[in-house]
Chain A
Amino acid sequence: DAGVIQSPRHEVTEMGQEVTLRCKPISGHDYLFWYRQTMMRGLELLIYFNNNVPIDDSGMPEDRFSAKMPNASFSTLKIQPSEPRDSAVYFCASSTGGVRRTGELFFGEGSRLTVL
């Protein structure tokens, strides 16, 4: 299997622009997680899906952030409008977890976002 695939690997944009990050989970995994990593706060869960349904989005910073999973093989994380404080590495991960069990996580390589 190719693993979790994220794109783009790097994105540099200007404040106010829309940013879309993409993720393809491992086939057969029914949980998909979006994490953000910064030096100050470490790894934070933004949102996760189970069977394409958003289960917990309490980690999404504000309304500028949105995430979708239209099918089992694709998810997007969108920031509109972007701000410099959104600069971070965004990781997508998938697993075959269960109720209240994350399961072994398989991470993508991450998308490094820089907002100028």
Chain B
Amino acid sequence: KNEVEQSPQNLTAQEGEFITINCSYSVGISALHWLQQHPGGGIVSLFMLSSGKKKHGRLIATINIQEKHSSLHITASHPRDSAVYICAVEDYGGATNKLIFGTGTLLAVQP
């Protein structure tokens, strides 16, 4: 079993829909990252959070430390949101600054 699991693995939505991507992890963490990667492109850090909720534009990230779960929400989705979204955690018990990555969620938003 992977230490970081994302769901769904693939998601297709219509433009304007509200989207939720989930991330569950099994280790104690000091922080959780959400990353975005466009096809053939680089990786962009969307959020880094250790508690509560953060919002940036149409993107919202929440985390529940007790339940070891985080969600990434996209409101009023747009085709330009089509990308792979990757959850990664910093293992609190880890000896070094290593991130444990999920396998990613491929999102396609159709016009």
Contacts and interface: CB of A to CB of B under 8 A. Distances in A.
Interface of A: 31, 33, 42-45, 48, 50, 55-56, 59, 91, 93, 97, 100-110
Interface residues of B, number: 23
Given A31-B97, A42-B104, A48-B97, A100 B45 contact: no
Interface in B49-92: 86, 88, 90, 92
A101 B48 CA distance: 11
State the main secondary structure of chain A at its contact with B: strand
Interface in B21-64: 30-31, 33, 35, 41-45, 48
15 contacts: A43-B86, A48-B97, A50-B97, A91-B43, A100-B30, A100-B95, A101-B31, A102-B31, A104-B33, A104-B45, A106-B45, A107-B45, A108-B42, A109-B42, A110-B43
B41 A101 contact: no
A103 B32 CA distance: 10
Given A45-B98, A104-B45, A105-B35, 12 more contacts: A33-B97, A42-B101, A91-B43, A97-B97, A100-B30, A100-B96, A101-B31, A101-B90, A101-B97, A102-B33, A105-B43, A106-B45
B97 A104 contact: no
B96 A56 contact: yes
Q: With a 10 A CB-CB cut-off, give which of A55, A97, A104, A108 has the most chain B CB atoms.
A: A104
